[in-house]
Amino acid sequence: MNALFNDWDLPAPPPRTNTLSSVTLSSADPAARPPAPGDAPDGAPIVVAGATPAALAIGAEPLSALALAPVRAADKRIVNGKADINQLAPFKYPWAWEFFLNANKNHWTPLEISMAQDVHDYHHKLTATERHVFENVLSYLTTSDILAMRNIGLAVMEKMSAPELQIYQARQVYEEALHTWTYQHCIESLGLDQQEIYNRYRVVPAIHGKIALANRRLERIMRSDFDLTNRDNLHEFALSYLFFAGIFEGCWFYNGFSPIFALQRRGLMKGTAEQLQYIMRDEVLHCAFGIRVVRTLLAEENLQLDPAALARLWEEAEAAEQAYASFLLAEPILGYSAAQHMGQFHFVANRRARQLGIAEPFPGAENVLPWLDEQANMRKEKNFFETRVTEYQTGGALAWD
C-alpha cells in the first residue's frame, strides 16, 4: 500500500485548544499585538488587538453581524466585476455554463484507444520523412498543451470575475492536462526517447520560435498583479487572450493536428489520429469559448483593439508558422506539403478573424484541405459494440464556424 495511505490505525493527533472560540479581546490595551507562537500555553486565551466581536468571538455575537448586502447578476462582468465571485447563479453568462455542461459530455481518456497498430506502423510502415513529421508534431504539441494549461490556470482564470466563466475554465485546465497525458501515452506506446522528444522545443529553432512567441505574448498577463483597471493593460489583456484563443488554440492547434490526419487518411497511425480527434473536439470548445469571452469583453469595456497591434499579431503568428512548416515539411509527405499547411493556416485564420469580429488578415485565402473537416470529425460509422458512449454526444461537434 502507498506509504501515504497506510496510517489508518494510528491515533489522531491531540486537538488544539486555543481555537477561534477561545479568543478574547483586549480593546483597552492599545499596545496589544497579535500573538506570536509560544505567547500563551495551550488552553490559555489568546489576545488579539483590533479585532471585532463579530469577526472573532463567534458564539458571543450573532452571526447576522457578518451579513453582507445582496448582489445582482447584472453586476457581473468578464473582468473587474462587482458581484460576488462565489455566487454562481443567477447567471449573467448562461452560455459559459452551457460550455461547461457540453465539455463534460466529452469525457474520455487516452487509455481507451488502442495504439497497437500505430506501433507496427511507426516501426515498419512510416518512411523516414513521415517519422520526422510525426515526431516533431508530437514534440510541438507536448509543450503547447502545458503552456495552454498554465496560461488558463495562472493568468486567464484568475482574472475572470464571474464564477460561471471560471468553472468552465477549470474544466479547460483539466482538459489541457488530459491532452498532455495523451501525448505522453503516445510517446510511451511507441517507445520514443522521452528526453529527446520533449527537448526538441528547446533545441529545434522552428519549434522553439512558436513557443517563444506564445510566451512573449502571454508572459505579462500571467502576473497576478496585472492591473486590469488600467485601460492600457486591459487592451493588452484582450489582445493576448485573442492571440491565445484565436491563434494559439484556434489556428496553430489545427495545423498541429493536420499532418497526423493526413497520415490517418492513408490508413496510418490511426490510433494517434483518433486521440487527436478527441483532443480537437475539446479544442473546438476552448477556441469558441475564448472568442466569445473576447467579444463580450470588448463590448462590456467599450474597447477598440488597435489595428496596427492586430496586424503585428497576425504577422508574427504567420512568420512563426511558416518557419515551422518549412522545417516540418522540408520534404512533403504523400498528400501533405508545407504549401498546403500554410494555405490552411491562412484559411482558418480568416475564419477566426470573422468570428472575432475583426478584419480578415489574409483576404482571399481558400480551403486547400477540403477533406480536413470530415477527417477531424468524430462522427463516423463504427461498430456499435466497439464504440464509446461519448461518441454519440454532441457537445463538441466539430465545425469551422
Q: Does 22 share its domain with 162?
A: no
In a domain? residue 220: yes
- Write a three-state SS string for the chain: CCHHHCCCCCCCCCCCCCCHHHCEECCCCCCCCCCCCCCCCCCCCCEECCCCHHHHCECCECHHHHCCCCCCHHHCCCCCCCCCCCCCCCCCCHHHHHHHHHHHCCCCCHHHCCCHHHHHHHHHCCCHHHHHHHHHHHHHHHHHHHHHHHHHHHHHHHHCCCHHHHHHHHHHHHHHHHHHHHHHHHHHHHCCCHHHHHHHHHHCHHHHHHHHHHHHHHCHHHCCCCCCCCHHHHHHHHHHHHHHHHHHHHHHHHHHHHHHHHHHHCCCCHHHHHHHHHHHHHHHHHHHHHHHHHHHHHHHCCCCCCHHHHHHHHHHHHHHHHHHHHHHCCCCECCECHHHHHHHHHHHHHHHHHHHCCCCCCCCCCCCCCCHHHHHCCCCCCCHHHCCHHHHCCCCCCCCC
**Residue 133 corresponds to which amino acid?**
V
Which of the residue ranges 7-11, 60-64, 90-94, 327-331 would you say has the lowest mean pLDDT? 7-11
Q: How many domains does the chain have?
A: 2
CA 10 to chain centre: 41
Domain match, 163 and 294 both: yes
Residues 141 and 222 in one domain: yes
pLDDT level of residue 1 (50, 70, 90 thresholds): very low
- 153 and 198 share a domain? yes
Examine the domain organization and report whether 112 and 62 are in the same domain: no
What value does the mean pLDDT of the chain take? 82
Residue 89 lies in a domain: no
Say whether pLDDT at 363 is over 90.
yes
> pLDDT-derived band of residue 6, with 50, 70 and 90 as boundaries?
low
Q: How many CB atoms lie within 10 A of CB 226?
A: 17
- 185-196 pLDDT tens trace: 999 999 999 999
- Residue 192 pLDDT: 95
> What pLDDT score was predicted for residue 380?
44
Same domain for 185 and 279, yes or no, is yes
Residue 341 to residues 17, 335, 374: CA-CA distances in angstroms? 67, 11, 17
pLDDT attached to residue 66: 72
Does residue 370 surpass a pLDDT of 60? yes
Q: How far apart are CA 150 and CA 161, in angstroms?
A: 18
Mean pLDDT in residue range 301-324: 96
**Over residues 320-349, mean pLDDT:** 96
- Angle (CA) 284-289-292 rounded to 5° is 125
344 with 322: CB under 8 angstroms?
no
Task: Please give the Cα distance from 3 to 6 (Å, whole number).
Answer: 5
- Per-residue pLDDT, 97: 95
Segment 45-63, tens digit of pLDDT: 444 444 444 444 455 556 5
* 148 pLDDT tier (thresholds 50, 70, 90): confident
As a whole-number percent, the residues of the chain with pLDDT over 70 amount to 77
Domain membership flag for residue 293: yes
> How far is 362 from 370, CA to CA, in rounded Å?
18
One-letter amino acid for residue 96 of the chain? A
The pLDDT of 314-339, averaged and rounded, is 96
Query: Model confidence at 221, in pLDDT bands (50, 70, 90)?
Result: confident
Q: Is the pLDDT of residue 392 over 60?
A: no
d(CA 285, CA 287): 5
* Shared domain check, 226 and 177: yes
Give the rounded percent of residues in the chain with a pLDDT score beyond 90. Answer: 58
Do 40 and 173 lie in one domain? The reply is no
My answer on whether 169 and 48 are in the same domain is no
21-37 mean pLDDT: 44
pLDDT of 229 > 90? The answer is: yes
214 part of a folded domain: yes
pLDDT at 110: 94
The answer to whether residue 177 is domain-embedded is: yes
Question: Which CATH number covers residue 246?
Answer: 1.10.620.20
Confidence tier at 11 by pLDDT (50, 70, 90): low
Return the higher-pLDDT residue of 389 and 117. 117
Q: What is the pLDDT of residue 212?
A: 92
In a domain? residue 72:
no
Q: Determine the pLDDT at residue 67.
A: 76
Q: What are phi and psi of 233, to 5 degrees?
A: -65, -40
pLDDT class for 385, splitting at 50, 70, 90?
A: very low
Residues 334 and 370 placed together within one structural domain of the fold: yes
With a CB cutoff of 8 Å and minimum separation 6, the contacts of 27 are 49
pLDDT in tens, 81-137: 888 878 888 888 999 999 999 999 888 899 999 999 999 999 999 999 999 999 999
pTM metric for this prediction: 0.78
pLDDT value for 397:
44
Question: Does one domain contain both 244 and 158?
Answer: yes
Answer whether residue 381 shows pLDDT above 50. Answer: no
In this structure, the answer to whether residues 103 and 55 fall within a common structural domain is no
Q: Judge whether residue 226 has pLDDT over 50.
A: yes
CB atoms within 10 A of CB 57: 15
Question: Alpha carbon of 321 to those of 72, 144, 284, 356, 368: distances in Å?
Answer: 45, 14, 20, 20, 16
pLDDT at 28 over 60: no
Question: What 3 state SS string does 39-75 have?
Answer: CCCCCCCCEECCCCHHHHCECCECHHHHCCCCCCHHH
Enclosing domain of residue 60: 9-67
Is the bond leading into 94 cis (omega within 30 degrees of zero)? no
Residue 13: predicted pLDDT:
59
Looking at the predicted structure, is the pLDDT value of residue 64 above 90? no
* Residue 84 within any structural domain of the chain: no
